[in-house]
Structure 1
Amino acid sequence: MKMASSMGGMFPGQQPPAQHPVGGPGGPGQPGFPSTANRGQGNNTLVDELEASFEACFASLVSQDYVNGTDQEEIRTGVDQCIQKFLDVARQTECFFLQKRLQLSVQKPEQVVKEDVSELRNELQRKEMLVQKHLSKLHHWQQVLEDVSVQHRKPSDLPPPGPLTFLEQASASLPPAPLKPN
């Protein structure tokens, strides 16, 4: 519980722009990006920052300044800065959710176990369907091989024609019955 209370300040209000690491939003090395306090709302979340940085990435790629610009290095620097900001906010968002996950695992460990069991069941079901798919393909190709081997037998190896021969050939062309899982 001590860990959860020490992380409590990071969740609702997020870090103010002045506390971002070097190279983060509004920090040194990225002078052209507005901090979250400059965007009009004082209570922005990480999701809002992530969305804004994502939009800034696209805006920098389609901006007329970059389209009409001749200095490729300036264009590259601007785009790199936008992408770096997006990656920084994405890391912060990931960290936020990992911290929430840690807090949940401390407070309600049974919930984490239930989720793990559910994921394992889904994985087993997916793999069972894959096994059934491969078994059906195997039976199909076994049937194809049997048909080819019957066609290449010598006439002396073939049974004499009769009513049973017709039934055997008709049943050979039927698809095999699906196997029931154990």
Structure 2
Amino acid sequence: MASSMGGMFPGQQSSGQIPVGGAGGPGQPGFPGPGGFPPRAPENNTLVDELEASFEACFASLVSQDFVNGTDQEEIRTGVDQCIQKFLDVARQTECFFLQKRLQLSVQKPEQVLKEDVSELRNELQRKEMLVQKHLAKLHHWQQVLDDVSGQQRKPTDLPPPGPLAFLEQASASLPPAPLKPN
């Protein structure tokens, strides 16, 4: 999988590297530079580098003295909007890159995608089982509280038979029957 992501991270070479930059990029006219951050060489930029640079530019535009001391609110708003738009554009490109790699993986190794899906389903089932156990514990607790309160008012012969399933039997007796689903 690392070879399929060539060019995405620094130090990797790839002929399929997605070009980044363009009008309004860092260091270009009309786009505030990342104040205090060194300029990046455009030929070595990857999407991750470009995303990081655009984030730094957004952050720098919000804390830059030029914008803080500026008197023209419209100019400040325009600069910040440009930074945020550039960041969102690069984020979409990065998302697209990962979606393309995911598609390639699903075509080349469909069993890997199935394994991931099965793993996610197992985790979901485990999470839901823990949630059911938590609710059963709360149900048992409140059933005992209710029994304690109502036990003071009723006779000892009315108590349910002792046992671990007594509260489940009592709780399920008040539930309506589930409708049958046609196969």
1:15 and 2:15 matched: no
| TM-superposition CA deviations, 1:128-160 (whole Å, max 9, x none) | 00000000000000000000001234xxx457x
Counterpart for residue 47 of structure 1 = 48
Counterpart for residue 97 of structure 2 = 96
Residue identity in the other structure for 1:13: Q
Mapped partners of 1:101, 1:135: distance in 2: 40
Deviation at 1:33, TM superposition (A): 5.5
Mapped partners of 1:70, 1:24: distance in 2: 23
Q: Secondary structure at the match of 2:43?
A: coil
Q: Secondary structure at the match of 1:39?
A: coil
Residue identity in the other structure for 2:75: E
Deviation at 1:70, TM superposition (A): 1.2
Identity %: 76
Counterpart for residue 148 of structure 1 = 149
Counterpart for residue 133 of structure 1 = 134
TM score, norm. by length of structure 1: 0.69
Residue identity in the other structure for 2:102: R
Contact 2:21–2:42 at 8 Å: present in 1 too?
no
1:80-91 pair list within 5 angstroms: 80-91=81-92
TM score, norm. by length of structure 2: 0.69
Counterpart for residue 74 of structure 1 = 75
CA RMSD of aligned residues (A): 3.1
Structure 2: give runs of 5+ residues left out of the alignment. 5-13, 34-38, 169-183
Q: 1:63 to 1:16 in 2, by over 3 A?
A: closer
Mapped partners of 2:94, 2:51: distance in 1: 8
Structure 1 range deviating more: 90-99 or 64-73:
64-73
| TM-superposition CA deviations, 1:107-135 (whole Å, max 9, x none) | 00000000000000000000000000000
Q: 1:41 to 1:88 in 2, by over 3 A?
A: closer
Deviation at 1:43, TM superposition (A): 1.7
Greater helix proportion: 1
Structure 1: give runs of 5+ residues left out of the alignment. 5-9, 160-167
Residue identity in the other structure for 2:18: Q
1:102-113 pair list within 5 angstroms: 102-113=103-114
Residue identity in the other structure for 2:91: A
Mapped partners of 2:100, 2:132: distance in 1: 38
Q: 1:110 to 1:11 in 2, by over 3 A?
A: farther
Q: 1:66 to 1:31 in 2, by over 3 A?
A: closer
Deviation at 1:39, TM superposition (A): 2.6
Contact 2:24–2:30 at 8 Å: present in 1 too?
no
Mapped partners of 1:15, 1:67: distance in 2: 33
Deviation at 1:15, TM superposition (A): 1.4
Larger Rg: 1
Contact 2:21–2:50 at 8 Å: present in 1 too?
no
Deviation at 1:17, TM superposition (A): 3.6
